[in-house]
Chains A and B, each alone.
Chain A
Amino acid sequence: MSTRSVRTGTAVPLRRDDVDTDQLSPARFVPYYRPDGFTNILFADWRTDPDFVLNQPQYQGASVLVAGHDFGTGSSRESAVWALQGAGFQVVVASGFGDIFRGNATTRGLWTVEVDHDVVERLWREVEADPWLPLVVDLTARRLGFGAGECPFRIDEPLRRRLLRPGDRIAETLLHLAEVEDYESRRVVP
């Protein structure tokens, strides 16, 4: 169950660090962009291994991905976010994110929740022990709940506010068009 400020779901424990955007969205799929066509590309190469965690039946239907440090490093390809969303993920919990990926995730409404690595380790253990354990991500309170456990998480304030108040960002900027034009009239071309 999800609201604008709380998302709840079961999780997949992805025991990997440095998950780069080439894994999230392998290059060979990138040119085939269709907003509705990114359901089967997430971790396409890792998924060929039947033992890969996303292939396990107990994790089907999960909407939270729990990974290690530096998730989403590498290329700026926004298809990394589309691929996660196409696979049903609404939240990624990790002990650090690539900056560009995190911005892209926010643009498209995918929540990125940063916690300490020991929290990640604990989540991995608890979810492996109970794959049906619901995780509750409260963006207003900035808290992550899991069974009996609970902890705060980190997210930059502009990102958090954007996620709580999605909308047409371009329309908001165009409200300030007169200021943009004023800036342009004063601008010295470097």
Chain B
Amino acid sequence: MTGHRTLAEKIWQDHVVRPLDDGSDLLYVDLHVLHEVNTPRAFDDLRAAGRTVRRPDLTLAVEDHNTPTGEGGREDLAGRRQRDLIRANCAGSGIRLHRLGDPDQGIVHVVVPELGLARPGMTIVCCDSHTSTLGALGVLAFGIGTGQVEHVLATQTLPIHRPDDLAVEISGVLPDSATAKDLALALIARIGTGGGRGSVIEYRGEAVRALSVEARMTLCNMSVEAGSRAGLVAVDDATVHYLRTRTGARFTDAEPRWREMRSDDGARFDHVVHLDAAQVGPRVSWGTNPAQNLPLDGRAPSRSDCATEQEWATTQRSLAYMGLRPGQPMRDVEVDTVFVGSCTNGRIEDLRETASVLSGRKVADGVRMLIVAGSAAVRRQAVAEGLDRVFSVAGADFRPGAGCSMCCALNEDRLAPGERAASTSNRNFEGRQGKGSRTHLVSPRVAAATAVTGRITTPQDL
């Protein structure tokens, strides 16, 4: 049990209730997080089987995907129905719920760390693939499906097979022009949407150590876009400092245990990928999956960029959907909308970066810029720092509410068919931001610069 263990292995072994006869483990869940979208059937099936929520005290729900973030009205009816369901389900089971209007409401993956509920060594699951975000705090956190939600509600455990360990070693110093979002996109472009399949990624190396805890959340968030259920970063001084600000006087004796949440020297990883941060600059997606991204200086791919006919066929499909020409310079691409927000880039540091670019500038005529805080707390902080005035003077729409907004097209914020956005979210799938929508994934800085010119732009271009 001891020896040279990876961080994922340590957390896993600490949570095995019993090994199962099929080679998987019954894993204990320290915190189960719910949102309104993928949970109604879990509660229905639980009730139909005559079961109840076993540990409501270890369960937390937040309204985020369907919540409107604008001023009053324009409420999505399907969203309203889902909110009614989660309210009834939580009330009936004694589950704490942060509902729309609550000061602690926001996107689950933004709210949970803010409240000090994600701490090193924990296991956290949620009905949402971007639960991987919490790995930035040394938490083994991953998304599950509705049937698994029902299982965790009933038992506080999950039967699951232990994934492989994938070390992503990021050496070098990230240039000032690049961010954690660009690192994540560069990794996914390298290893593909299935590169991390079957593995937990541990992000390691000096470039990771140099990132703020919030930037590490951005990196871990997009692990799932590389095919991994979970991403992890070892605990260091930055993690402990972050946790202290979030947990206050609680857990004062936990720090030594938190600091053990790192892979032992000599721990063996099943797979290793090396990335040089110094080579990473601002990036932008050109296609319809997150691996289809390139340096912002680049051009949309042509036949000569594809190794096989199958790859070229896939590339042509993506280009056609995106309305791009082979070889088109990405800087020539004009957008209708800019969206800053989501569990990837909706935290206070993201809003500060956005404001630093927008300060003294204006959103281009004909461009709609939507800025949505990842949580009500992030929004309050932004207002306290005067970022709201910067956004307002620039002509951006800084929404009064917090939530998933235009990341997922599950609320009133959607793109129209054919509309094109630069977006700080995580997925550029066909129709992701509304039927027929076209999404270019970028960092908050590139999003802000793009809003100023109306075409894909870096702050250095301004």
A residues with CB within 8 A of B: 15-18, 20, 22-23, 26-28, 30-33, 35, 45, 68-70, 73-79, 81, 96-100, 103-104, 107-108, 121, 156-159, 161-162, 168-170, 173-174, 176-177, 179-180, 183-184, 187-190
Q: Told that A16-B317, A31-B37, A180-B156 touch, could you supply 10 new A-B pairs with CB distance under 8 A?
A: A18-B288, A28-B78, A70-B194, A73-B227, A74-B129, A79-B38, A81-B145, A100-B145, A157-B22, A183-B28
Closest to A106 in B: B147
Contact B194 A73 (CB under 8 A): yes
A107-B142 Cα distance, complex, nearest whole Å: 17
Cross-interface CB contact of B257 among A169, A176, A188, cutoff 8 Å: A188
Cross-interface CB contact of B229 among A99, A168, A189, cutoff 8 Å: A99
Within 8 Å of chain A (Cβ to Cβ): is B319?
Answer: no
Within 8 Å of chain A (Cβ to Cβ): is B454?
Answer: no
Question: A179 contacts which chain B residues (CB < 8 A)?
Answer: 17-18, 26
Within 8 Å of chain A (Cβ to Cβ): is B113?
Answer: no
Question: A156 contacts which chain B residues (CB < 8 A)?
Answer: 161
Within 8 Å of chain A (Cβ to Cβ): is B333?
Answer: no
Question: A32 contacts which chain B residues (CB < 8 A)?
Answer: 78
Q: Provide the B133-176 mask, 1 if CB < 8 A to any CB of A, else 0.
A: 00000000011111110110011110111010000000000000
Contact A74 B427 (CB under 8 A): yes
Contacts A17-B314, A96-B194 given; indicate if A161 touches B22 (C-beta within 8 A).
Answer: yes
Question: A70 contacts which chain B residues (CB < 8 A)?
Answer: 192-194, 197, 227
Closest to B198 in A: A99
Question: A183 contacts which chain B residues (CB < 8 A)?
Answer: 17, 28
Question: A189 contacts which chain B residues (CB < 8 A)?
Answer: 30
Closest to B139 in A: A190
Question: A26 contacts which chain B residues (CB < 8 A)?
Answer: 431, 435
Contact B289 A77 (CB under 8 A): no
A11-B23 Cα distance, complex, nearest whole Å: 32
Contact A190 B30 (CB under 8 A): yes
Contact B257 A190 (CB under 8 A): yes
Closest to A156 in B: B161
Within 8 Å of chain A (Cβ to Cβ): is B272?
Answer: no
Question: B2 contacts which chain A residues (CB < 8 A)?
Answer: none
Q: Provide the B1-29 mask, 1 if CB < 8 A to any CB of A, else 0.
A: 00000000000000001101011101010
Closest to A27 in B: B409
Contact B430 A45 (CB under 8 A): yes
Most buried by B among A97, A103, A173, A184: A173
A77-B82 Cα distance, complex, nearest whole Å: 14
Leading 10 A-B pairs by shortest Cβ distance: A104-B145, A107-B147, A31-B78, A190-B121, A76-B143, A70-B194, A78-B145, A78-B146, A158-B24, A158-B22
Contact B144 A100 (CB under 8 A): yes
Question: B127 contacts which chain A residues (CB < 8 A)?
Answer: 76
A143 nearest CB across to chain B (Å): 20
Closest to B158 in A: A173
A95-B13 Cα distance, complex, nearest whole Å: 31
B106 nearest CB across to chain A (Å): 19
Within 8 Å of chain A (Cβ to Cβ): is B79?
Answer: yes
Closest to A104 in B: B145
A100-B128 Cα distance, complex, nearest whole Å: 10
Within 8 Å of chain A (Cβ to Cβ): is B51?
Answer: yes
Question: A121 contacts which chain B residues (CB < 8 A)?
Answer: 310
Within 8 Å of chain A (Cβ to Cβ): is B70?
Answer: no
Question: A30 contacts which chain B residues (CB < 8 A)?
Answer: 37-38, 410
B1 nearest CB across to chain A (Å): 15
13 A–B contacts from the bound complex (CB under 8 Å): A18-B314, A23-B431, A33-B40, A45-B430, A77-B37, A78-B145, A98-B197, A107-B145, A170-B49, A170-B154, A179-B26, A184-B28, A190-B119
Within 8 Å of chain A (Cβ to Cβ): is B335?
Answer: no
Contact B147 A173 (CB under 8 A): no
A97 nearest CB across to chain B (Å): 8
Cross-interface CB contact of B41 among A35, A98, A184, cutoff 8 Å: A35
Contact B151 A173 (CB under 8 A): yes
Contact B41 A73 (CB under 8 A): no
Question: B24 contacts which chain A residues (CB < 8 A)?
Answer: 158
A112 nearest CB across to chain B (Å): 12
A28-B433 Cα distance, complex, nearest whole Å: 10
Within 8 Å of chain A (Cβ to Cβ): is B254?
Answer: yes
A18-B315 Cα distance, complex, nearest whole Å: 12
Question: A158 contacts which chain B residues (CB < 8 A)?
Answer: 20, 22-24, 159, 161
Contact A45 B431 (CB under 8 A): yes
Closest to B121 in A: A190
Contact B145 A96 (CB under 8 A): no
